[in-house]
């Protein structure tokens, strides 16, 4: 039996300068949005058939280091996604289809995403923009380890096939250990995790270990706390940047030899914040988690 997981596209591209600040800065970004964490388990509720002998949905987790806080506040569940009925939520359905395609129809998946990246590169050239790709819009996959075959040639990863294109992602993996051997055109920003089941995952000592190795860290906070921290250009000698001014994290790269920067991201309105410390809500939490 052949399962239809086709969607209009794999990559989401916003080239509207009115709603995308990156276009003004000279970038055209293509983002791959999949079903995060263990959400693929909901595929049957969306009417998606699959071969249960080929894949065990209960064992799939596209964000293996997701914590309680980031799972609760993930953009996958916010805004128009929060209360939508299963089949009526076309965007989530598309993300589930893309995920099923990636998991079970890899040859077709890579063939399509390669085609779309090439199209984005051509479009960026026409508009005099630089093409940029983010493969983990709502996932945390080790893309540098996802090999494939294209035109009878083996590639270690997509970055190898497109050396002229820059890729970036956020990750909760330990970049210094698990992901230290990255392609030159793949840039990662560490996403602060907060606590998980009551245990602090990344204390200030852990965060500074990244910063001191020229790795930027992203911290999610409320609007009030973000404005408070941005009153100064530095926090404990580390540069602070407003991460909401643009989405292309490659632009945050510091000159070689400089410490990494703290990238502040404001939590979306009506986000389920919780008490995990993932989203900094007050000055007491700054003192608790960033000292």
pLDDT of residue 272: 66
Chain Cα centroid distance, residue 66: 12
Paired strand residues for 219: 264
pLDDT score for 241: 98
The yes-or-no verdict on residue 185 having pLDDT over 80 is yes
Q: Is the pLDDT of residue 98 over 80?
A: yes
The answer to whether the Cα torsion of 174, 177, 183, 185 is positive or negative is: positive
Share of the chain above pLDDT 90, in %: 76
d(CA 151, CA 78): 40
Nearest to 180 by CA among 251, 207, 171, 119: 171
Quickly state the pLDDT bin for 15 (edges 50, 70, 90).
confident
Is 227 strand, coil or helix? helix
Question: Does the pLDDT at position 102 exceed 90?
Answer: yes
Strand partners, 190: 171, 217
Span 235-250, mean pLDDT? 96
Q: Residue range 123-143: average pLDDT?
A: 97
The two structure tokens encoding residue 268: 């979306």
The residue with greater pLDDT, 72 or 273, is: 273
* Number of residues written out for the chain: 291
pLDDT digit string (tens) for 195-220? 888 899 999 999 999 999 999 999 99
Give the tens place of pLDDT for each residue, 33-78.
Answer: 999 988 899 899 888 999 999 999 999 999 998 877 666 555 545 4
pLDDT at 70: 65
Question: What does the pLDDT read at residue 74?
Answer: 55
Residues 247-264: tens digit of each pLDDT: 999 999 989 899 999 999
Average pLDDT over residues 17-30: 92
Q: What mean pLDDT is reported for the chain?
A: 91
Q: Looking at the predicted structure, is the pLDDT value of residue 142 above 80?
A: yes
Q: Which residues contact 240 (CB under 8 A, 6 or more apart)?
A: 229, 230, 232, 233, 234, 261, 262, 264
Domain positions in the chain are: 11-289
**Tell me, what DSSP letter sits at residue 42?**
G
């Amino acid at each position: 039996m052949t399962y239809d997981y086709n969607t209009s596209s794999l990559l989401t591209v916003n080239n509207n300068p009115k709603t995308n600040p990156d276009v003004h800065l000279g970038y055209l970004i293509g983002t791959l949005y999949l079903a995060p964490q263990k959400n693929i388990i909901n595929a049957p509720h969306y009417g998606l058939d699959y071969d249960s002998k080929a894949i065990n949905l209960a064992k799939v987790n596209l964000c293996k280091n997701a914590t309680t806080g980031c799972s609760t506040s993930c953009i996958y569940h916010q805004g128009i996604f929060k209360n939508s009925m299963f089949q009526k939520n076309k965007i989530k359905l598309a993300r589930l289809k893309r995920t099923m395609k990636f998991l079970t129809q890899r040859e077709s998946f890579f063939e399509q995403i390669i085609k779309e990246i090439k199209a984005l590169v051509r479009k960026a050239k026409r508009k005099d923009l630089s093409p940029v790709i983010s493969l983990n819009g709502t996932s945390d996959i080790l893309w540098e380890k996802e090999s494939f075959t294209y035109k009878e040639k083996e590639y270690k990863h997509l970055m190898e096939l497109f050396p002229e294109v820059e890729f970036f992602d956020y990750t909760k993996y330990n970049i210094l250990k698990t992901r230290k051997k990255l392609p030159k055109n793949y840039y990662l920003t560490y996403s602060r995790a907060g606590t998980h089941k009551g245990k602090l995952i990344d204390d200030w000592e852990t965060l500074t270990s990244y910063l001191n190795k020229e790795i930027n860290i992203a911290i999610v906070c409320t609007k009030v706390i973000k404005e408070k921290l941005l009153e100064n250009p530095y926090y404990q000698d580390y540069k602070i940047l407003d991460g909401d001014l643009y989405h292309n994290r490659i632009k945050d790269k510091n000159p070689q030899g400089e410490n990494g920067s703290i990238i502040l991201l404001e939590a979306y309105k009506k986000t389920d914040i919780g008490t995990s410390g993932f989203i900094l809500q007050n000055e007491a939490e700054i003192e608790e988690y960033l000292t």
